[in-house]
């Protein structure tokens, strides 16, 4: 059986789009630094933008692994979703699990936002009154992952419903 884009469902396209958006968000600011004191804020503004607003690639593997997993799951669902054997063998459940793991990785990355810096740098940032917070890339990637979670749940439930109606008819 050959791949046909016409046979890919809207949920599957949405899952792939969510993964692509999440990967695109990796290039946006992922971690931003801000200061509470004006003199420190002035010093931050004199630094290169890449030192103050870091993308996920500069943040570490925990930051970019979730969105990459999400796009890989989206690719797998689009390519394999039209094959009945793959669907009944657990592809929707695999998509759901990959999405949950992706969200967990992004959440852990957010919780460990200060650990992307070395211990001596963290001490220096704390002494200077500088805080790290999530940038727009984190929010966008997490929103895309939540969209993928919703459509993967709907896809898994639709397969379950179709399977239960076939069982009742037998």
The whole model's pTM is what? 0.83
Q: What percent of the chain has pLDDT over 70?
A: 92
The CA distance from 2 to 142, in Å, is 33
pLDDT in tens, the chain (170 residues): 677 778 788 999 999 999 999 999 999 999 888 888 888 888 888 888 877 888 888 888 988 999 999 999 999 999 988 877 887 888 889 999 999 999 999 999 999 888 888 888 888 888 888 888 899 999 999 999 999 999 999 988 887 666 544 433 33
**Predicted local distance difference test score (pLDDT) of residue 14:** 95
- What is the model's pLDDT at position 169? 38
- The token pair at 75 is 């690719």
Residue by residue, DSSP assigns 55-107 as -HHHH-HHHHHHHHHHHHHHHHHHHHTT-HHHHHTTHHHHHHHHHHHHHHHHH
Beta carbons of 35 and 133 less than 8 angstroms apart: no
First to last CA, the chain: 27
Q: Is 26 within 8 Å of 141 (Cβ atoms)?
A: yes
Residues of the chain with pLDDT > 90, as a percent, come to 42
Mean pLDDT of the chain: 86
Tell me the C-alpha distance between 139 and 147, whole Å: 12
Per the CB < 8 A criterion, the answer to whether 92 and 52 are in contact is no
DSSP per-residue string spanning 94-148: HHHHHHHHHHHHHHHHHHTGGGGS-HHHHHHHHHTTEEEEE-HHHHHHHHHHHHH
Q: pLDDT tens digit string along 60-81?
A: 898 899 999 999 999 999 998 8
* CA–CA distance, 120 with 126 (Å, rounded to integer): 10
Closest CA to 142 of 111, 104, 116: 104
Q: What is the pLDDT, as a whole number, of residue 122? A: 83
């Amino acid at each position: 059986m050959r791949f046909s884009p016409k046979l890919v469902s809207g949920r599957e396209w949405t899952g792939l789009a969510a993964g692509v958006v999440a990967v695109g968000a990796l290039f946006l600011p992922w971690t931003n630094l801000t200061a509470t004191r004006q003199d420190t804020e002035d010093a931050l503004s004199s630094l290169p933008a890449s030192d103050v607003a870091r993308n996920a690639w500069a943040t570490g593997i925990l930051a970019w692994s979730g969105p990459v997993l999400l796009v890989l799951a989206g690719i797998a669902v689009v390519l394999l979703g039209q094959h009945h054997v793959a669907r009944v063998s657990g592809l929707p459940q695999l998509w759901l699990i990959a999405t949950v793991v992706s969200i967990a990785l992004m959440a852990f990355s957010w919780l460990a936002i200060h650990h992307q810096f070395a211990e001596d740098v963290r001490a220096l940032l704390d002494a200077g009154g500088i805080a790290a917070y999530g940038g727009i890339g984190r929010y966008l990637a997490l929103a895309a992952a939540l969209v993928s979670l919703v459509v993967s749940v709907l896809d898994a439930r639709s397969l379950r419903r179709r399977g239960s109606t076939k069982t009742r008819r037998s």
